[in-house]
Structure 1
């Protein structure tokens, strides 16, 4: 009887946890697509990118709501008397309410900035620090942006769970180079512009530095790609056309797992021939030490030995970003 009760209890719990993971991944995917626009608008109008992204996630259901899909309206902005553009009608606080309709989401983001900067009831928000997302969230609720009494707390929760404050820092960093975009978002790599939705490996003249002969094939994916194992950690070699999203789909993972396992940023591009781990790397290697060769970086070494970079740094008492000279002997365990 106790076993039956335990199973009944765990089954809905598993569903809840899966739902939370799926929701978080939907947020990551949304941010991956729209963060350059949010940063651009912060630099142009002074509205925190974290607030813009959190509102977009909340108001549009991470871009999956009816209003976002059918009208490209990501912020729930209603028509109001001054709107003379296209409209979309749906039930909201009242039946058959009028909402603004846009040609693409970028227009929605721009209109959101104009909406906040041209209405006097939001003027006080711009006296707050640009990176004080908590004050901005509470201020938006105070100004009446939404009727939900928990609106401010919901925005703060989304920002903190999804790590959106980092985009405020990027926008405020004078040295940060904003990715170029056209209509939605485009990342620039070499001389080829690629939609951020479909970031793919380009034809770089990057040599394949990892020899496949050094690793054992342990299985193949359903698509026929060989999967290798290095120090008991499974990985693949990046191929032309690979992205975090396509690899995650091929191997039944979330895209954030791919870049976290490989200690990359969400905006990173893969290079043909590089090792891409499908599991978390080890905290130490089987080998005792490694003598650094010309051209090797700490990340290259961490990938080669399937050891987490942060642990490689810790073992050797090194700071992130340090460059090691050829001939340096690193401890691996």
Structure 2
């Protein structure tokens, strides 16, 4: 009897332990599922949060390349469903550019990137690399977002006729063109070379960064372009070269706009 009782007791204990283990596994799986869903929902962008997250990068790239920030943002917004598409989430691809990827999460013909910034930089790089796109830098100013969008479409970025009106509508709906108004940050090293005292440099820097200057405060630091001026004129006046001016100001062409501020 004792033997049977012990055997029965041991059997019940094993069953209870197995049940506890199974329940523990199910609870763990459920918690992982809830965590995954919660994380996914938390990472979901709204139109405004996507713009807020990427506007600074778009403006930085505009200053570096000349592609309008509004265009960069609108194309990314449209192509990635403001950061919520599967390609944007799994491949960091915000511009619908095709290429190789190493993702095990999804099978896709779209290019994979290590970060959203890499994707953004590849887009403006594409504008600079492709011959059909390079002409846009000479043809359109940085504040002509409509010209840029139509030009990108004509250069073969997509064959969908609805692409242009949708991208333009995005710019207008969210007032993305306001991000095209940023001016290039002032280089403190240039102010130091001007001979101004530290206090003068700080005052000048704050004034220039406020973007409300209409004249040059310190000769030899910056120049505001007036009507009809060319890079050649400025190179002669300030004893430098056209290429040096283009390099210092990250200019892709020699075309200048009235009111444009150049570092000398």
TM-score by length of 2: 0.50
CA offsets 1:266-325 (integer angstroms, 9 cap, x no match):
xxxxxxxxxxxxxxxxxxxxxxxxxxxxxxxxxxxxxxxxxxxxxxxxxxxxxxxxxxxx
Q: CA deviation at 1:167?
A: 0.4
Match in the other structure for 1:41 = 61
Q: How does 1:303-318 map to 2 (within 5 A)?
A: none
Match in the other structure for 1:135 = 147
| 2:143 is equivalent to residue 123 of structure 1 | no
Q: How does 1:32-71 map to 2 (within 5 A)?
A: 32-71=52-91
CA offsets 1:68-126 (integer angstroms, 9 cap, x no match):
001000001111xxx6xx345999xxxx6521111110111111111111111111211
| 2:166 is equivalent to residue 154 of structure 1 | yes
Higher strand proportion (structure 1 or 2): 1
Q: CA deviation at 1:165?
A: 0.4
Q: Partners of 1:139 and 1:87 in 2: how far apart?
A: 32
Match in the other structure for 1:78 = 98
CA offsets 1:186-239 (integer angstroms, 9 cap, x no match):
xxxxxxxxxxxxxxxxxxxxxxxxxxxxxxxxxxxxxxxxxxxxxxxxxxxxxx
Contact 2:70-2:145 within 8 A present in 1 as well: yes
Q: Partners of 1:58 and 1:90 in 2: how far apart?
A: 23
Q: Partners of 1:90 and 1:139 in 2: how far apart?
A: 35
| 2:120 is equivalent to residue 100 of structure 1 | no
**Superposed CA RMSD:** 2.4
Match in the other structure for 1:17 = none
Give the direction of change, closer, same or farther, for the CA distance of 1:104–1:160 in structure 2 (3 Å limit).
same
Q: CA deviation at 1:66?
A: 0.4
Secondary structure of the residue that 1:35 maps to in structure 2?
helix
Q: Which has the higher contact order (CA 8 A, sep 6+)?
A: 2
Contact 2:58-2:72 within 8 A present in 1 as well: yes
Q: CA deviation at 1:33?
A: 0.2
CA offsets 1:221-261 (integer angstroms, 9 cap, x no match):
xxxxxxxxxxxxxxxxxxxxxxxxxxxxxxxxxxxxxxxxx
| Structure 1 spans left out of the alignment, 5+ residues | 1-24, 178-333
| Structure 2 spans left out of the alignment, 5+ residues | 1-44, 188-264
Larger Rg: 2
Secondary structure of the residue that 2:46 maps to in structure 1?
helix
Q: Partners of 1:143 and 1:89 in 2: how far apart?
A: 33
Contact 2:63-2:184 within 8 A present in 1 as well: no
Secondary structure of the residue that 2:109 maps to in structure 1?
strand
Give the direction of change, closer, same or farther, for the CA distance of 1:159–1:176 in structure 2 (3 Å limit).
farther
Match in the other structure for 2:243 = none
Contact 1:39-1:49 within 8 A present in 2 as well: yes
Match in the other structure for 1:326 = none
Contact 1:87-1:98 within 8 A present in 2 as well: no
